[in-house]
Amino acid sequence: MTDSCGSLPGANNMIMDNQEYYYRTLKLLQKTPELTQRQIAEKLGVSLGKGHYVVKALIDVGFLKVEHFQKPDNKVGSMYKMTAKGVREKARLAKRFLKSKQDEYKQLQKEIRSLKGEVGLN
């Protein structure tokens, strides 16, 4: 699941959507490490399979580690802990995500100006 450099699958040519999922998952689990994969998928707005893929990719490259614990109902629970490598990657992804959103914002501003011109609202 990782390349020879230990990066996320397809990180060099990955579409922004996957990077956004990785970032949002790291952010979620930093705040609430006891979330289940089902809860993660729900919060991301993706299928359980996609949520599992994202979490597994982050574990496989060493950005998350899993700790199992006994819950009060005698079931085994899992906690996802971000590693030091994961903290660095989250910061890198946050910068990239911010730049992408800023670029998107600039493009939207251009579109708005153009549409205002079309309808005579300059």
pLDDT tens track for 32-52: 999 999 999 999 999 999 999
Provide the pLDDT for residue 104: 92
Residue 19: predicted pLDDT: 86
- The low-confidence residues of the chain, meaning pLDDT below 50, are 1-5, 10, 12-16
Cα–Cα distance list, 84 to 3, 4, 45, 88, 89 (Å): 19, 20, 27, 6, 9
Cα(115)–Cα(118) distance, integer angstroms: 5
- What is the model's pLDDT at position 1? 43
Report how far residue 77's alpha carbon sits from residue 54's, in angstroms, rounded to the nearest whole number: 19
The answer to whether the beta carbons of residues 68 and 76 sit under 8 Å apart is yes
The pTM of the whole model exceeds 0.85: no
Domains of the chain, start order: 16-119 (1.10.10.10)
Beta strand pairing call for 76-82 and 64-70:
antiparallel
